[in-house]
Structure 1
Amino acid sequence: MADQTSKADQAAIPWVERYRPKELKDVSHQGEIVATLKNAVETNRLPHLLFYGPPGTGKTSVALALCRELYSPDQLKRRVLELNASDERGISVVRDKIKHFASLAIGNASSKSKSFFTKEKDADAMDIDEGETKKYPNPPYKIIILDEADAVTRDAQAALRRVIEAYSKVTRFILICNYVTRIIEPLASRCAKFRFQPLPVDSMKERICYIAEHEDCKFDEGKKDEVIDEILNLSEGDMRRAVTTLQSAHSLCCGPNEVIKKDAIAEMAGLPPPDLIDRLIETLQTATFDKMKDFVMENVVLEGYSAEFVLSALMAKIIVMDDVSEEAKAKIAIQAAKSDKNLVDGSDETLQLLTVCSLALGCMKKRKQ
């Protein structure tokens, strides 16, 4: 009965969490970062850290794996505080929760998990089988993981500077963000910065195939590589998005004989079909603003297609068109880049689509006349 309960609990865990690397050695591709952190653990010289890079490249996984390398399981919950700055980003959180945890004194590690930094070794400890107990450093400091730190307000970041300095003897900070330019320079200069690169296709494909095999995902004969390549193409180096897409596709194919198909991946990701982009370009070349607006609202917005993917597909077609001037292409590309940035910042998708399409309408109709 207990086994059945544990299996049910395991099945309920999202694949992203189930297959998250538990140790630093399990992290793929970020070899230099892992080697540097391992050396810092072995020499007990861990500085404050700033991890930045695109989403889904392993920043949070490396931070959690580093904590598991440092602390024994009985010390982990007491020594590590993980906060998501997108939820708790005000100055009051820094002054209350973070400052309170950072200022707490460190107790002695338990006898079962004695630090390997100590030179003295008990005779009894020497007789313990190495396979039964793993030696943990259990260093004399706590760790605060501040995820999505680029969402923290500038006032809160300024307040955090003093907290980092005042309690550096008993607390280390790990700041995680996507955009390092949104971290104020005085705060970034107090940390060792590590840039996480997008994962290469080969590394991601190996991991996705491993997950698909363990989760018994079914594909048409000879179509497995084609489907997985489509998932990797859509994920753009984001491992979290790739694993989530695979799980979603597997969940939709719930029948005993159903298989995961390439078309289902594109539809589930909200990719606009090629004929929709062709009709949109034709509208931009021939129609008025009102007709263009009606087309965008009826065929793009109401159908639920992602503005990010529509703009990307639209630019891919416009760039290679011979009947559009280079100047017009440059203007449209600049506006598409601005709209993409605005979408990341949370702007309305409909307004950004109409902004790009209205500019393209003027440029392309002007050329056609």
Structure 2
Amino acid sequence: MTVGEVSKNLPWVEKYRPSKLEELISHDDIIKTINQFMKENQLPHLLFYGPPGTGKTSTILACARQMYTPQQFNSMVLELNASDDRGIGIVRGQILSFASTRTIFKAGPKLIILDEADAMTNDAQNALRRMGGTQGAEVMAGQCIGLRPPVPLQLCDVAGNALQTNMLANYLYDSDIILFVYDLTNLESFDKLAIWIQRVKEIFEIETTKPLMALFGNKSDLEHQRAVRLSCVQKFASEHLLETFKGSARTGEMKYTENVRFCIICNYLGKIIPALQSRCTRFRFAPLQQSQIVPRLKEVAAAENVKLSEDGVKALLALSGGDMRKVLNTLQSTWLAYRDVTEDNVYTCVGHPLRSDITKIFNWLLTENDFAVCFQNIQDLKLAKGLALGDILTEVHTIIQRVKLPAEVLVSLLIKMSDAEARLASGCSERIELAALIAAFQIARDQVQIGDTETS
């Protein structure tokens, strides 16, 4: 197969993926900031999050192509899809091996791109945070050289997940001092201290010699981002008879920082552990505006000689939800299937209800007085067009909010529709839920008629 044939057979979403930052169609503020980082050679660890198809992967790949020459790219960039390689083994193996080796010629730090990182297990994320550190606890030995003579010192850094294991008592055995470390910028880390202190007190309850205990607030260099109030710290320390200290580990947060930068990409920020979030500069990628999508859509259509109608464009935009990848994939699928991208062809290609079909269903729900006739009409249309009741509910929900109904009637109807959708998601029968939907509309119509009668 020749290079031209490979390019021809590529999915359009890959064929027309931006290769330079200036080719990206949105998020100018994010691109400007990252450009400045690269210009000053101060690129931090990055965390991109937001809905799919908003340019997260394209942005970092364009950055990588700007940072490295084509000859350097394969040796300097490691791209992994964490939804496939999401276990702790990939962190300890492939990522650690790539991060710990240096290139012969200096070309700046390497770049590791972890796509779909919200699919990574918590153990893998903790291993990534430590980049090769011992799971459960990391033991380090040294000396307090500030004292004369120097005093031998052994530190045992217990990972946060050790609280749930039976090994914690072994880690803390014969300790002289226990420091409870929290993040000044993360209230959640402070709120968990009470559980830790209670657990440590239980461990040393039968011991005659108790260790000294103190609080340590990390990231004092980010005092302007403080989330834990000083008064709360003082009150907590007083209640538990603890000394309080603060400081910053900024210069030693991640191993291999001189040699590598991480770009973590995810859809759901909440699935990334706080320890990783705090080590990265975060950027949120919002859904694309229609005004941003249309020019690129028409550019691709022109390049591929696609016959694209105006109602076809509107259908693609309606289905996309701001997802550029979905727009291009649907465009290519419709063109290959029908050779004509119209509204009906787009909806038929993806199995989405046609607007004319939804209008029929909505009219039956609003005007048909005979329950059995309404049920049979909708059921016949569902079977003939292969429609799912869940899709019908979604489209009816969009239309009903444009209908002028009394507020209490609309609220009641929306609640019943949401209940029907929830029951469908849990596996209930579509026939039963269709009957419930028709009944909900009948009750709403009766409420409107009663209200009109009382008004007159």
The interval holding the TM-score normalised by the smaller chain is 0.7 to 0.9
Q: In the TM superposition, what whole-angstrom CA distance separates every residue of 1:140-166 from its partner, at most 9, and x where no partner exists?
A: x21111111111122222222212812
Identity of aligned residues (%): 35
> How many equivalent pairs are there?
319
Q: What secondary structure, in the 3-state scheme, does the structure 2 residue paired with 1:325 have? A: helix
Aligned to 1:96: 93
Separation in 2 of the partners of 1:295 and 1:179? 41
Aligned to 1:160: 128
Aligned to 1:84: 81
- Kindly state the Cα deviation for residue 302 of structure 1 after the two structures are TM-superposed: 9.0
Q: 2:303 aligns with which of 194, 210, 214?
A: 214
For residues 94 and 314 of structure 1, do their structure 2 counterparts lie closer, same or farther at Cα, with a shift above 3 Å needed?
same
Aligned to 1:315: 397
Q: What secondary structure, in the 3-state scheme, does the structure 2 residue paired with 1:28 have? A: coil
- Kindly state the Cα deviation for residue 188 of structure 1 after the two structures are TM-superposed: 1.0
1:266 aligns with 2:347: yes
Q: In the TM superposition, what whole-angstrom CA distance separates every residue of 1:209-263 from its partner, at most 9, and x where no partner exists?
A: 11111111125xxxx3332222122212111111111111221234xxxx33221
- Kindly state the Cα deviation for residue 315 of structure 1 after the two structures are TM-superposed: 1.4
- Kindly state the Cα deviation for residue 296 of structure 1 after the two structures are TM-superposed: 8.5
Separation in 2 of the partners of 1:190 and 1:30? 22
Aligned to 1:9: 6
- TM-score of the pair, normalised by structure 1: 0.75
Aligned to 2:147: none
- Conserved? CA contact 1:296–1:354, under 8 Å: no
Q: What secondary structure, in the 3-state scheme, does the structure 1 residue paired with 2:327 have? A: helix
Aligned to 1:242: 327
- Kindly state the Cα deviation for residue 334 of structure 1 after the two structures are TM-superposed: 4.9
1:1-369 aligned at under 5 Å gives the runs: 5-109=2-106, 138-139=107-108, 141-163=109-131, 165-219=254-308, 224-254=309-339, 259-272=340-353, 273-275=357-359, 277-278=361-362, 281=365, 300=382, 304-305=386-387, 309-319=391-401, 320=403, 322=405, 325-332=409-416, 334-335=418-419, 339=422, 351=428, 360=437, 363-364=440-441, 367=444, 368=446
Aligned to 2:152: none
For residues 198 and 283 of structure 1, do their structure 2 counterparts lie closer, same or farther at Cα, with a shift above 3 Å needed?
same
Separation in 2 of the partners of 1:172 and 1:332? 50
- Conserved? CA contact 1:29–1:203, under 8 Å: yes
- Conserved? CA contact 1:285–1:364, under 8 Å: no
Separation in 1 of the partners of 2:32 and 2:46? 14
User: What are structure 2's unaligned runs of at least 5 residues?
Assistant: 132-252, 448-456
- Kindly state the Cα deviation for residue 286 of structure 1 after the two structures are TM-superposed: 6.7
- TM-score of the pair, normalised by structure 2: 0.61
Separation in 2 of the partners of 1:302 and 1:190? 54
Q: What secondary structure, in the 3-state scheme, does the structure 2 residue paired with 1:165 have? A: coil
User: What are structure 1's unaligned runs of at least 5 residues?
Assistant: 110-137
- Kindly state the Cα deviation for residue 16 of structure 1 after the two structures are TM-superposed: 0.6
For residues 205 and 251 of structure 1, do their structure 2 counterparts lie closer, same or farther at Cα, with a shift above 3 Å needed?
same
- Conserved? CA contact 2:288–2:324, under 8 Å: yes
* Structure showing the higher strand proportion among its residues: 2
